[in-house]
Amino acid sequence: MEVVKQEIKIADGNQQMPCHLAKPASGGPYPGLIVIMEAFGLNNNIRNITDRFAAEGFVAIAPDIYFRQPNNVVGYDDLPNAMRLMQSVKDDEVTGDVQAAINYLKTLKEVKPRFGITGFCMGGKIAFLTACRIAEISASVPFYGGGMVTPGASGKAPIDYVDGLRAQVLAFFGGKDAFIPMDQVEKFKSTLQKAGKQAEVVVYEDADHGFMCDERPVFHPAHAKEAWEKTVAFFKKTLA
């Protein structure tokens, strides 16, 4: 499917938030999809993923949730600065950022009122957190989201908001991920089950953190392909 893409700025409170927008060149209306970046910022990898979702029949938007910070895109080899930027993200602010992206999508004639969210690394955590806090989100696909069950600066963990979750969830983790211990993944899974939420948790035992990113040594082509296909099918079903 042919895709139209552009860099835009959208209203976010009294500020303007840069975003990458990609949508099918014709037809619609299509479901809206928010794509949340990794800890490294709104880089070409996240733009490419957003474009790929548009090619599958979604109007996809990737907000720059670091827009309040200077020097807000860093290389994959610069973990200290990625951590610095990631620690600047506040739960309430990022929930507002995602709501602003949804509000913008609502203004587009090509978008029908069905919204999903996905994210990678830090973005995976945000994709789950905001799905718990924004009732308009119908589907959430977090990829290797760390800190799902551990309290952050707000004193609460994303899983603490689970009672507000209305979205169906498809979550991916890597068994070799040193950043996310398997006991945390099991707690995340069991808490969702106990809360009676519609959720599937997929663990690729031989995959590492960042296995979806073809710009990193940890890229796992087979699991990336399978996870992508599962994600697209999941969104097409839940956002129909």
Q: For the segment 211-236, what is each residue's pLDDT rounded down to a tens digit?
A: 999 999 999 999 999 999 999 999 99
| Burial of residue 155 (number of CB atoms within 10 Å: 0-12, 13-18, 19+) | exposed
Answer for the pair 202, 108: CB distance below 8 angstroms, yes or no. no
* Residues marked as catalytic: 121, 177, 209
Per-residue pLDDT of 91-128, as tens digits, reads: 999 999 999 999 999 999 999 999 999 999 999 999 99
How many angstroms separate the CA atoms of 90 and 77, rounded?
Answer: 24
| Average pLDDT across the chain, whole number | 97
Q: Which residues are 237's β-sheet partners?
A: none
Residue 154 has pLDDT above 90, yes or no: no
Q: So what's the pLDDT on residue 153?
A: 83
Per-residue pLDDT of 131-144, as tens digits, reads: 999 999 999 999 99
Q: So what's the pLDDT on residue 167?
A: 98
Give the ranges where the chain is alpha helix by DSSP (H): 44-55, 79-86, 91-106, 122-133, 182-194, 221-238
Task: List C-alpha distances in Å: 94 to 41, 147, 159, 222.
Answer: 14, 15, 16, 32
Q: What is the mean pLDDT of residues 161-182?
A: 97
Residue 152 has pLDDT above 90, yes or no: no
Q: So what's the pLDDT on residue 172?
A: 98
Answer for the pair 13, 46: CB distance below 8 angstroms, yes or no. no
Residue 194 has pLDDT above 90, yes or no: yes
Q: Which residues are 106's β-sheet partners?
A: none
Per-residue pLDDT of 3-60, as tens digits, reads: 999 999 999 999 999 999 999 999 999 999 999 999 999 999 999 999 999 999 999 9
What percentage of the chain has pLDDT greater than the value 90?
Answer: 98
Is residue 29 reached through a cis peptide bond, with omega within 30 degrees of 0 on the bond before it? yes
- For every residue of 23-63, which 3-state class applies, written as one string? EECCCCCEEEEEEECECCECCHHHHHHHHHHHHCCCEEEEE
- pTM of the predicted model, to two decimals? 0.97
Q: So what's the pLDDT on residue 105?
A: 98
Identify the CATH assignment for 3-238 out of 3.40.50.720, 3.30.2040.10, 3.40.1190.20, 3.40.50.1820.
3.40.50.1820
